[in-house]
């Protein structure tokens, strides 16, 4: 009898059960595969499920653990992979029609690291086409649905990964973030998503959107699980020219240290200027919680950050257009209309605009560097709004009365420009839809960012709330 309840366990909880052989990797994998078969028709979070490969990896993990060869907390744990990371012998589509038959010979470096840690790969997750969008409404593989409300987007571009993690269709997942694509889905789906420092995690074997902004990172149900996943995938890689020669610390070591004595910065400009009232209230409540836990809170000024969204979008579209040049000329009909328009827009960017955006990027980096001389972390909303309805993301709605797509990466893209680490952790609900708190830190300060997120998470019960799905029905919040 397959136990569906094991799919609710976090990685940090299931790992001891696997190590002590109180739970079989095969049993756990079968439970996830059965749950995917039953619930994913409502979510469409997977492009491709890999049952044969997953069961083979689970059997291998079971044998190794039985023989005393436990590799660590991911050994035998079922994970999902955003379908822009290569898995050898399996198509990497990047959510596109153009790459439907693109079958790599090698694993992406991060995938090889996860396999080396003993993880079981369940399949490849759906995403916004070519990772160039905030909604995961995909014209080729169908829209991904938010498990908290099936008529809502899950965010993008790692929407399939976030939806699958939230719905218990994998224990954790691997996403990418170029302007928002880990943190926005994490916020919309009520899970934890970490964008590491630029260069901390290899992107070799990951198809690019914009080379100077792309990051790979984990999505999971808890901060501790994100730390476990980051531990497995971090480190220098000669295959990625931007990979940092930086020592990899123990990302879990400081999770229980709390925030007493830490200095938390709240931006004076920009981050709270365009934000739904409920989102602002919940984020400010979260900041108050950090203060109650012993952190000191002070305003910080980031005078150039108001230009971040324009600068980020200029750089992103320009670099994307450069990578897509041949297909734009030869196969424009194979793109979805929204992505085609966005990439073509990059062809219209003048060199001076690109260079001015890079200059603005430097000024924003300097703003944050000065802020981090006074505070340890900077906090604000992950996304200014809750998940909008599928098919209506270009229409003004709710209290902001702006098109959701126009502001969805507003508060996340500064961290892509600076390359600094940032995490989204659930901080409440607005009309039953999740809201995320974003915690930002200096370069390579992931242990500190994770520490603050863990302290907030431990002081609240938001991660205990789960969407409740039944086959063929709408999602209902389990509160």
Active-site residue 157, yes or no? yes
Let me know how long the chain is.
479
Q: 320 phi and psi, to 5 degrees?
A: -65, -45
Q: Any idea what DSSP says for residue 441? A: -
Contacts of 385 (CB under 8 A, 6+ apart): 275, 276, 279, 398, 400, 404, 407, 408
Catalytic choice (24, 45, 112, 181): 181
What does the block give as tokens for 44? 């469409």
From 162, 199, 203, select the one nearest 183 (Cα to Cα).
Answer: 162
In the chain, the largest separation of any two C-alpha atoms, in whole Å, equals 64
Q: CA-based Rg of the chain, rounded to a whole angstrom?
A: 21
Scanning 86-154, the segments in alpha helix (DSSP H) are: 109-116
Distances (CA, A) of 72 to 15, 228, 253: 8, 9, 15
128 to 141, 243, 277: CA distances (angstroms)? 9, 25, 28
The CA distance from 468 to 479, in Å, is 9
Q: Which of 12, 42, 45, 82 is catalytic?
A: 82
Q: Please report which helix (H) or strand (E) contains residue 425, including its range.
A: strand 422-430
Tokens read off for 470 = 């039944």
Q: Is the peptide bond before 79 cis (omega within 30 degrees of 0)?
A: no
Q: What is the DSSP string of 335-386?
A: S-HHHHHHHHHHHT--HHHHHHHHHHHHHHHHHHHHHHHH-SEEEEESSSSP
Which class for 189: exposed (0-12), middle (13-18), buried (19 or more C-beta within 10 A)? Answer: buried
Q: Residue 427 belongs to what H/E stretch?
A: strand 422-430
Are the CB atoms for 119 and 74 separated by under 8 Å? Answer: yes
Give the CA angle between residues 113, 119, 123 to the nearest 5°.
100
User: Catalytic residue among 157, 176, 318, 357, which?
Assistant: 157
CA distances, 102 to each of 85, 105, 126, 147, 307 (Å): 12, 10, 15, 29, 37
d(Cα 127, Cα 45) in Å, to the nearest integer?
8
Cα(41)–Cα(163) distance, integer angstroms: 12
Termini Cα distance of the chain: 28
Residue 430 annotated in active site:
no
Q: Is 82 a catalytic residue?
A: yes
* Active site (catalytic) residues: 82, 157, 181
């Amino acid at each position: 009898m397959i136990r569906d309840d094991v799919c609710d366990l976090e990685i940090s909880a299931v790992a001891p059960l696997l190590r002590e052989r109180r739970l079989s990797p095969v049993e756990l994998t079968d439970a996830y595969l059965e749950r995917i078969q039953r619930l994913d028709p409502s979510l469409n979070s997977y492009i491709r499920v890999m049952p044969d490969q997953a069961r083979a990896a689970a059997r291998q993990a079971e044998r190794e653990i039985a023989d005393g060869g436990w590799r660590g907390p991911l050994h035998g744990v079922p994970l999902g992979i955003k379908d822009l990371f290569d898995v050898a012998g399996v198509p990497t589509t990047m959510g596109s029609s153009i790459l439907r038959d693109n079958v790599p010979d090698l694993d992406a470096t991060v995938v090889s690291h996860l396999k080396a840690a003993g993880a079981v790969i369940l399949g490849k997750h759906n995403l916004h086409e070519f990772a160039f969008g905030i909604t995961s409404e995909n014209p080729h593989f169908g829209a991904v649905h938010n498990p908290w409300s099936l008529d809502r987007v899950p965010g993008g571009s790692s929407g399939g990964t976030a939806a699958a993690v939230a719905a218990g269709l994998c224990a954790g997942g691997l996403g990418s973030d170029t302007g928002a694509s880990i943190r926005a889905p994490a916020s919309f789906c009520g899970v934890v998503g970490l964008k590491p420092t630029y260069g901390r995690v290899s992107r070799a074997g990951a198809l690019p959107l914009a080379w100077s902004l792309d990051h790979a990172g984990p999505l999971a149900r808890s901060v501790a699980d994100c730390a476990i996943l980051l531990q497995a995938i971090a480190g220098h890689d000669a295959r990625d020219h931007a990979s940092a020669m930086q020592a990899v610390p123990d990302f879990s070591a400081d999770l229980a240290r709390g925030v007493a004595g830490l200095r938390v910065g709240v931006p004076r400009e920009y981050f709270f200027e365009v934000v739904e009232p409920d989102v602002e209230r919940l984020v400010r409540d979260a900041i108050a919680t950090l203060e109650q836990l012993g952190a000191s809170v002070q305003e910080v000024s980031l005078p150039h950050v108001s230009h971040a969204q324009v600068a980020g979008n200029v750089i992103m579209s320009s670099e994307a257009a450069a990578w897509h040049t041949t297909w734009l000329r030869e196969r424009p009909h194979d793109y979805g209309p929204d992505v085609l328009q966005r990439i073509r827009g990059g062809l219209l960017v003048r060199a001076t605009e690109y260079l001015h955006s890079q200059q603005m990027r430097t000024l924003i980096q300097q703003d944050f560097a000065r802020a981090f001389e006074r505070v340890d972390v900077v906090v604000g909303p992950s996304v200014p709004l809750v998940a909008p309805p599928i098919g209506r993301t270009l229409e003004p709605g709710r209290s902001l009365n702006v098109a959701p797509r126009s502001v969805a990466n507003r508060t996340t893209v500064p961290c892509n420009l600076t390359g600094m680490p940032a995490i989204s952790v659930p901080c409440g609900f607005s009309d039953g839809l999740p809201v995320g708190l974003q915690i930002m830190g200096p370069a390579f300060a992931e242990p500190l960012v994770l520490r603050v997120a863990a302290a907030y998470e431990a002081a609240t019960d938001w991660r205990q709330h789960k969407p409740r799905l039944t086959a063929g029905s709408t999602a209902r919040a389990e509160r």
